[in-house]
Structure 1
Amino acid sequence: MTAVRYSEVMAYSQSLPDLWLLSDARNDELLPRALRALPPGSAFVYRHYHLDPRARRARWDELLPLVAEGGHLAVLSGSDDEARAWGAAASYGPPEAIGEAPELLRIAAVHDGHEIAHANAAGADAAMLSPVFETRTHPKAVPLGAEKFHALAALAEMPVIALGGMTFDRAKELGWTRWAAIDGLALKQDS
């Protein structure tokens, strides 16, 4: 089994995964277990901004077989060119970085109505909207909360992925099935 690559991207654009695991310095050690625990066909967003470029690529190459093992969507935080070169199926980044890459899914990181409008204009395939709840990643950021999240999500012309303090319980509370997390998935002890 291989990681989901661009040959399967069009199927994903119609039905994106519900669960999205994001990498981070604090969950790096837990990633192998977390990737194995994800339901088949989930998504993995590789960030690892804390590493220098060579080490970042090496860690991606170590994790990619586990992504493939689960049939997960391989998403690279970076440019479309970098995502293609690294064998990812999707790129992830700010809406102004969304380019023309029909062979990739393009996931826009958005936080407000202005960024959602930019993602709409750029033709992003999905938007990751954050922070929904308080989060350790951005402790000083004011969370959107459920009401504002839903109002902003309604502005998006593409599927929206909830991010920021998300857990299985918070997803139920929010009434949103498509969500992403760092700790909320990597630190989950049972499936």
Structure 2
Amino acid sequence: MRGRQTLPSLWLISDERNDAGLERALKRLPRGSGFIYRHYHLEPHERVARWFALRDVARTREHWTILADSALTALEWGAHGVYGAPRSLWPTRGLITLATAHDLADIALANLKKADAVLLSPVFATRSHPQAETLGPSRFRLMAAHAEMPVIALGGMTAHRARRLRWPHWAAIDGLTYP
């Protein structure tokens, strides 16, 4: 149980397209980073098996493991927390809650739900949503100022872009997966 500890600065998010490199990426991340497991593309029995395999790798590096699912499933699977749209999150004792946000309404709802952090995106252009309007650094900062919790920058993030943004928390799908 991690409670209200200081959040990791760096977060790796799983996706179908980065699946093959996840074990290697988890081993290369700084100790104590965050890992958000989505893998919506898998059938239920494959998804749970893949979770436990990746969770075991993450645990060897003391990474935080967050599950994109219900709080009940997160507790059953031994996750440190849950990830999802703010409307789907409910504060659960012992679990970290990470909310997704794309606009001020999402941030307001994450504030209302008392999420532990919010992932605000897309900061930059992404492969996952190539047509999405990006926030850019200025709009990202303006929106992040409305959050009552730490904000994790997401969307086209790489180490270079994180330095350019000068933001303490960031996450990536492609930008942290090493082939």
- For 1:106, give the aligned amino acid: T
Supply the distance in 2 between the matched residues of 1:48 and 1:60 (Cα, whole angstroms).
Answer: 9
Name the structure 2 match of 1:77.
Answer: 68
Deviation at 1:14, TM superposition (A): 3.2
> Contact 2:91 / 2:115 at 8 angstroms: preserved in 1?
no
4+ runs of 1 displaced by more than 3 Å? none
Distance 2:103 2:75 in 1: 28
CA distance in 2, matches of 1:62, 1:20: 18
Q: Give the TM-score of the pair, scaled to structure 2.
A: 0.98
1:149 matched to 2:160? The reply is: no
In structure 2, what is the Cα distance between the partners aligned to 1:36 and 1:176? 24
Alignment correspondent of 2:39? 48
The 2-side partners of 1:14 and 1:31 are apart by: 25
**For 1:42 and 1:26, how far apart are their aligned partners in 2?**
21
1:167 aligns with 2:158: yes
TM-score, normalised by the number of residues in structure 1: 0.92
Quote the offset at 1:52 in angstroms: 1.0
Give the match for residue 3 of structure 1: none
Secondary structure, aligned partner of 1:156: coil
Q: What SS does the corresponding residue of 1:177 show, helix, strand or coil?
A: coil
In 2: Cα distance, 1:87 partner to 1:107 partner: 16
Query: Quick one: distance in 1 between partners of 2:137 and 2:148?
Result: 19
* SS of structure 2 residue aligned to 1:135: coil
Q: Distance in 2 between matches of 1:108 and 1:63?
A: 22
User: 2:66 corresponds to which letter in structure 1?
Assistant: V
- Matches of 1:35 and 1:136, distance apart in 2: 21
Identity %: 51
Matched residue SS, 2:72: helix
CA–CA distance in 2 between the matches of 1:108 and 1:100?
11
Shift of 1:98: 1.4
CA distance in 2, matches of 1:35, 1:181: 12
Please list every run of 5 or more consecutive structure 2 residues that lacks an aligned counterpart in the other structure: none
Write out aligned runs for 1:15-164 (5 A).
15-164=6-155
Count residues in correspondence: 179
Structure 1 counterpart SS, 2:51? helix
SS of the aligned residue for 2:134 comes to coil
